[in-house]
Amino acid sequence: MKRFAVALTVCCMVGLLSGAAFAAEKGIVETVAEGCKKEIDTYCKDVKPGEGRVLACLYARQDKLSGRCEYALYDAASQLERVITAITYLANECRDDLKTYCSAVKPGEGRLLDCIDRNKAKVTKRCNQAIKDVGLNK
């Protein structure tokens, strides 16, 4: 269940860092929702979704989770780790471009990626390559 704690932590980080920029987040939520449907319906039906509350509910009942739910959480944690790696890589490769062209842009909800995209003729080859590498080129 150590990976479950990682999933809870990373899930919150992804929400803070990426916003709508990474569509993968939706797939991650669906993975947990489908794999843990029985547990969510049984133990967490009154929990308001968002901000990691459902994951916290599942965490509180980790001794009652089915193998299917545990696997879904493990899979979601793996997906989240890949997203965090992509965000980190992109931020590192585009750091100077973000400072130069997007310093006034509020992070979140894909605004920084939109800013880089608006300035793609001016951003470095390094940043453009990173965008391609993580599959975000529009």
Tens digits of per-residue pLDDT, 66-88?
Answer: 999 999 999 988 888 888 898 89
Token representation of residue 37: 């449907």
Instruction: State the pLDDT at residue 136.
Output: 78
Q: Are 18 and 85 in contact (CB under 8 A)?
A: no
Structure tokens at 21: 């920029």
Q: Alpha-carbon distance 33 to 6, whole Å?
A: 17
Classified as helix, coil or strand, 103 is coil
**What would the pLDDT profile of 30-39 be if each residue is shown by its tens digit?**
888 899 999 9
What pLDDT sits at residue 60?
94
Q: What is the pTM of this model?
A: 0.65
The answer to whether the CB of 92 falls within 8 A of the CB of 129 is no
> pLDDT by residue (tens digit) across 42-74?
999 999 988 889 999 999 999 999 999 999 999
Give the residue extent of every domain in the chain: 1-85, 94-138
- For residue 26, the model assigns a pLDDT of 58
Round to whole Å and give the CA distance between 5 and 77.
9
